[in-house]
Chain A
């Protein structure tokens, strides 16, 4: 990656910009995930799409599932970016870290 860096290009700033873009995408996906239950509520009944009937329960479960999958996937992406920016150590989800930052 170092070879591709041009003069005046700050990789740290570029990653920060990508972090912001990614967060915007995350928010946009949240709105998309909310459309299912919203549509079901607005129509006050089940919606049929491609032969698959989405009633209110399915829409809610779909929304919850999509949100969880999105958050897991996005976490991985953000972690990669964070590691590139700040060299954060890789942690498994239930790893017990050492003592945290000490306040001055």
Chain B
């Protein structure tokens, strides 16, 4: 295994099977030690630390100095493993911790949101992913820059990406900080510092390359951790306290789900719910850190297959979450802090500790995914296309690393000294991504002749429609239109984007047509 520099071949996926086997062996060993009277605290610590060390080792082992490796993981990721990484990117900490509870609270509407998430992945896989890969882009804004040969579109794309992903990154770091603080009994400051160090060790050496193989390991960990408790309860023939009693503590779920989404979906009208569903569907299809995974495979067909595999893993995860939601009988106490005893929730210490590392892996995978997407965009689209256009390749990697470090410091600052409602802003990510990217992606891939001006107009109008509605409701005291939540503002932004692009395109076409049919000028006649 090379520690630095590009690799000729992607790492074998047998290592992941070996990793899953190793995890199960470690659990069996610790379960045996538990029977022999080894203290529970030690067992939980070992089961938590084992996979965490594996994440860090993978991050360090796949370091690279090549821009292709750092930004798109050498483009040699197998579709199945990329699917695992896509699943891990989408699931995230909030879903791992709160989905079972949320489904119970939301009722039928929650299942509609699940279907929208899966549908968004399906849409991304068949409508966007292969064509993005075919464009040979390094980042999503890079695709716009190459397609339209315009710096304006590239930079606006970078701005939308940062606006959509930064709150998501901050929210995930905050959840990770809460988890570590609850697990080890540390202060939030110390926990966030630990999370940042872990993130840097996992991502800094290899960027997308480290991230890809790490996300696959994290997907295995979170998948096994999520599925094992229900299997355990089924084997022992008791529904116990279910998942809610073990890790899906409502203290965290209520803390981190945006207030607009807490237990109120069932009271929404069909129009309000439809708006939210459409936003989640289109937003998932355009989430840059998920869509960016289409750029790391070897071929356009591989990108499509990656999303099909990702959809399969996500569907299995959702099915298990639905099973948990039907089992939960435990009534959580909102706002009550997590404690060691509650976290155990009727599970043996090995399983309980494994659940915690599963939750932590879910948070880390999304946090690292958003971090790499942000760092790549800042280095490639902002630094090397706006600040230093003659930058050599090695400096681009350095810029990406610097951006990753700065983002981590920023996250630490914002989580410890919060200045805004990060969960609310994170929930806006879907709307912003959908409004800024969906019209331009569809028009650039599925129509011909859209100019950079039309694309720019579509992007600006989409962002203005979405953010305007959000700001109007949240800050200017505007009343909601047909009760549509500001978090579902993509239903205004996306049509606005399409309309603006269409109008500009029509204007350009009319201008061209008029020039063709216009009689030649006298000067031309004389010539």
Residues of A within 8 A of B (CB): 20, 23, 26-27, 30, 33-34, 36-38, 40-42, 44, 56-57, 59-61, 63-65, 67-68, 70-72, 74-75, 78-79, 82, 88, 91, 93-103
Contacts and interface: CB of A to CB of B under 8 A. Distances in A.
B109 A41 contact: yes
A99 B115 contact: no
Nearest to A29: B122
Interface of B: 6-13, 67-68, 74-76, 78-81, 107-109, 111-112, 114-116, 118-119, 122-123, 125-127, 130, 136, 138, 270, 273, 277, 297-302, 304-305, 307-309, 311-312, 315, 318-319, 322, 326, 446
Contacts, number: 147
Nearest to A103: B68
Contacts of A40: 108, 111
Contacts of A96: 9-13, 76, 78
B315 A67 contact: yes
B115 A34 contact: yes
16 contacts: A23-B126, A30-B119, A37-B115, A63-B119, A65-B315, A67-B122, A74-B308, A78-B301, A91-B79, A94-B78, A95-B78, A96-B10, A97-B298, A99-B74, A100-B297, A101-B136
Contacts of A57: 111, 322, 326
A104 to B, nearest CB: 9
Contacts of A41: 108-109, 111-112, 270, 273
A64 B114 contact: yes
B315 A100 contact: no
Contacts of A27: 123, 126-127
A44 B311 CA distance: 27
Contacts of B126: 23, 26-27, 71, 74, 78
A75 B81 contact: no
Nearest to B8: A99
A71 B311 contact: yes
A97 B231 CA distance: 35
A5 to B, nearest CB: 24
Contacts of A91: 79, 301-302, 305
A64 B122 contact: no
A94 B13 contact: yes
Given A98-B9, A103-B136, A60 B115 contact: yes
Nearest to B445: A23
A100 B79 CA distance: 13
A37 B103 CA distance: 14
Nearest to A74: B126
A63 B277 CA distance: 14
Nearest to B17: A94
A64 to B, nearest CB: 4
B111 A82 contact: no
